[in-house]
Every structure is written in C-alpha cells, then in structure tokens.
Amino acid sequence: MWPFKRKPIVDDDTARWHVDNFTWLVATFGGNNAFADAVLVLPKPGFFPVDGEEGHARALRIFKQVKDYCGMAEWPVELVPDQDPAVLHAASMARWAPVSEKYARGTFSVTDDVVQISYESTLIANPERLIATLAHEVAHYLLAMASTAPPCTDEEHEFLTDLTAVYLGFGVFMANAVYDYEAIHDGVMQGWRSGRSGYLPEQDFIFAVALFIAAKALDPTPAYECLKPHLATLLKRALRDLAVNKHFVEQVKASIPVVAGDGEQQSPGTRPEETA
C-alpha cells in the first residue's frame, strides 16, 4: 500500500474558514427557501440565452440573468461599462510574453442611495469572465444587506465576497475564471496574455463549490463537465474529503433557517464604500 496519505485540497484552518463563513451566509440569507432554490449556474447552453444583443446591451441582458439566478431580480442597481485606459493598454500589449492583469474587473458602489456596478468593457468579448465579475459585484450588494457581522475579519471581506458568489451558485464560473490564458493578434503584434480574476485561490473556490454541492445533495457530474480538467479533478477530491468530514456539511445544513421571514429586503445600516 502507498505509505503516504493524500492531503486535502485545503488545510484545516482554511476549511474551517470556508465552513464557518458559508454557514453564516446560509443562516443570514438562506431563508424563504433561498438556499434550497439556489441553482448551480453553469457555462453551458440554456443558462444565459441571448438574442443577438451586442456591446452594453448584451452585458445588460447577462446582468439581468445573473440577478435572476441570485434571487435579486427586483433589487435596484445601475450597470455601467468602465472604459479604463489601463485595460485597453493591457489588452494591446505583449509579444511572446504574458501580460498580468491586476486591475479590478468591476466595482460596486453606493452614492446618494444609488447602487451602481461597473464592469470592464473588454469583458463583453469573454462572457464567462463577465459573468464571474458580475456575480462578485452582486455578492457585494447582498453582503451590504447583512443584518449581522460575518465570522471573518474586515480585511477578509473580498475573500468573503468571492465565497458569497459561490453561495449564490456561481462557483464554477468563479473557479474557471481565476486564471485565463489567451492568444492575442493585433497587426504585427502577437503573443499571449494571462489574466487573473477573483481573490480566492483555485483550490479555495473548488472546496467552496464542493460544500455547495454536498450541502444541497446535488449531482456533481454537470460541474465536472464544465470545469477545467484540473479543477474537475480537484472537485472530486474535495467531495471525497467532505464525505469523510461530514460534520462540515452537517454544520451548513443545520444553519438553514427553518422559519421563513417576511421576505422583505432590509436596508444596509451603513453604506459601503466603493469596492472592487
């Protein structure tokens, strides 16, 4: 027998962080069957149909669908494209070398009671990354409505926001978008570009997706089919780990609100600052 025990995809402290914060998300926002009704949203036909829209019109249609999946269809928010010169410059650079994109792909802000989400306009050409970006910013919006403080620290808020996007059903998109490599050709310029999205590492996203699937007793096969191959392998490992550490899944299940609330949206006590 092989003498070495296979390590879990995240260490014990990281697993506990995810479970505690995911439990808080379910307890805080999972009432009125919100968590029970949450869908594992996937990058496959049927999830994001379009009808020939282009440019910002396409982004608006996708954004509406993201909000629908999140159960936030009626939440008022403006979506605006961000024409950042740094974005356009990075998109045209590189000759046989990677360009690392470190700017924010979207923002969430509230000014004079107007909620606004922006997105990097070049993402329209990459719908999967656009969806991941919009899911992250919508997660900011949801967290702004929380009536209690999460277990994590203020410094970990962006990590919590990524986890919230997984809670909302967008974990596969988030995990696939962490690293992206694409060829670029622009006249005499050619090469390849690397990009990174999100704040959590790939393995953290996958552990969170496994927690979502296990807590909802979903068939993981569609997720395997839609994840990058190495991420699908990680998900299989994570689900095996959770099958052993059943207390993690049971903790999440136990946090699902039993008594439904009145269904009314609450106003954020403190207006959040502009965030990425």
Question: Residues 2-46: pLDDT tens digits?
Answer: 556 678 999 999 999 999 999 999 999 999 899 999 999 999 999
Question: Residues 66-119: pLDDT tens digits?
Answer: 999 999 999 999 999 986 545 444 444 433 333 334 446 899 999 999 999 999
Structural domain contains residue 275: no
- Please enumerate in sequence order all residues whose Cβ is within 8 A of that of 187, keeping only pairs 6 or more positions apart, or say none: none
Structural domain contains residue 144: yes
The pLDDT, as a whole number, for residue 6 is 78
Structural domain contains residue 276: no
Structural domain contains residue 271: no
* Separation CA 258–CA 62 (nearest Å): 32
- How many other β-carbons are positioned within 10 Å of the β-carbon of residue 79? 19
Domain count, the chain: 1
Report CA-CA distances (Å) from 179 to 94, 100, 101, 176, 202. 17, 10, 10, 7, 8
Structural domain range at position 38: 12-254
Residue 204 is encoded by which pair of tokens? 């953290």
Structural domain contains residue 265: no
Residue 275 DSSP label: B
Structural domain contains residue 147: yes
Beta strands in the chain (DSSP E): 78-82, 100-101, 106-111, 114-120, 179-186, 189-196
Residue 267 is encoded by which pair of tokens? 């106003």
* Separation CA 9–CA 73 (nearest Å): 35
Question: Residues 117-169: pLDDT tens digits?
Answer: 999 999 999 999 999 999 999 999 999 999 999 999 999 999 999 999 999 99
Structural domain contains residue 6: no
Global pTM? Answer: 0.84
Residue 110 is encoded by which pair of tokens? 């509230």
Which residue type does 37 have? D
Structural domain contains residue 270: no
